[in-house]
Amino acid sequence: MSSVTEHTCCSDCQEFVSDDGNKCLQSNKEQAKFISHTKGPHIFFDKLFHRIDTPNSNVLSSYEEATLESIRNWETTKGKRAVLCGVAYNKQKYKLKGTNYDVINMRELLGSQFCFPSSSIHILAEMDSHPHPTKRNIQEALRWLVKDNQPGDSLVFYFSGHGLRKPDFFDDELDGFNETICPVDFKTAGMITDNDINDTIVRPLKNGVKLHAIIDSCHSGTILDLQDVYSTKKKLWLDNSSPSGVYKGTSGGHAISISACEDNQLAADTSAFSDCGKQMEGAMTYTFKKALMAEKPRVSYAGLLASMHKDILTAKEKGFSLRGLFHRERLQEPVLSSSKVFDVNEPFVL
C-alpha cells in the first residue's frame, strides 16, 4: 500500500480530509489529534462530520409539528421526572438491537426502585407508542426535563444509542474533542454535542435540584461537560474544567453523570448477560440496573461503580458481542462525573 495520501479540503469547514477517510486537521487552533481506524464505520462517520452539523431544512411535517407540540405539553410534575431515549437506528447498517429493551428496563427500575410515577417518565424510542428520538424531539424533551425545576426535584436523563466525537477548535475540551450523542436522524439533522446538553440540562439546575444522566453510548465519559471526573484507580476527583475558562456548571443545583466509557472508548451491546444468550442489551445499562437491584441496603456511588466493574470483568470472561459495527477488544468501565466534588461513599439515590 502506498504511503502517499491525497487530501481534499471541505469547503464548509476548511478541514482537510484524506482519501482514506482520516482528517488532516488544519486550523488556527492547536491541531486536535484525531485517532481513528482506517477501516470500518469510523471512515463513514468521519465524512459525516462535514455535512451533519446543520439541519437541511427547518420545514417540519404536520406529524412532526404535532409530536413536538405533544412533548411541549407534557405535564411538568414536581419531584421526580425522567426522559429515557433509546435509539435503534432501524433499517440502518449501524442498527442497534438492545436499545428498546434498555429503555423499558430503565423505566421499570425507576418505578420499582426509586418510586418515579409512571406519568413522570417519558420515553423517546422507535416504537409506535412513543415519540421517535429525533434531534428536535430529544432537544424538546430535555427542555421539558428541567422546565421550572424547583428545590427537591430529582431529574433523570437516560440515553442508549450511538455516540461520536468531533474536533473542538475553540479550546473548550481538554482532549481536543466534543463528545456527541446521535439522534435517529443525525445524518440529516446533526448530532447533539456535549455543549448543547450542558447548556440545556446542566446550566438551568437551581439550588436543591439534582440531575442524574445515565449515558450508555460510545465516547460518553464527559458527555455533560461536567467539571469533575472521578478516578476509580486513584480514588479522587480530577479536574475537567474547560481550558477556555467558560463556565460549565449549574445555577446552584447538582448534576451527576454515569457513562458507559471514557471519551476515547467505545461502549458495547452484549448478549453475555442474557440467560438464553440471545437478548442484546447495553452492557452498562445491565450492570447499572443489576447493581441497584441487588445491593441491600442501598449501594453507594463507589459501590455502584465497583459492582458494575465486577460484572464487566465477568462478561469479558464469557465473551460478548459488540455494539453495532463498532469493534473493540474489550468492554469498558463506567465513568462518574459531577458538577461538583462530593463523597462517593454516600448512597446512590434518585
Q: Which residues are catalytic?
A: 162, 218
Scan for cell 482520516, then name that residue: 22
**Strand 163-167 with 177-181, pairing:** antiparallel
According to DSSP, residue 324 is labeled T
CA dihedral 107, 108, 114, 116 (to 10 degrees): 50
Which amino acid, residue 203?
Answer: R
Instruction: Find the DSSP H helices in the chain.
Output: 41-48, 62-72, 99-114, 135-146, 186-189, 194-197, 283-294, 301-318
Which phi-psi region, left, alpha or beta, contains residue 138 (left: φ > 0; alpha: ψ -120 to 50)?
alpha
CA dihedral 316, 319, 321, 326 (to 10 degrees): 50
Residue 271, CB-side half-sphere exposure with 13 Å CA sphere: 10
Scan for cell 428541567, then name that residue: 146
Scan for cell 482519501, then name that residue: 19
Find residue 84's DSSP bridge partners: 123, 158
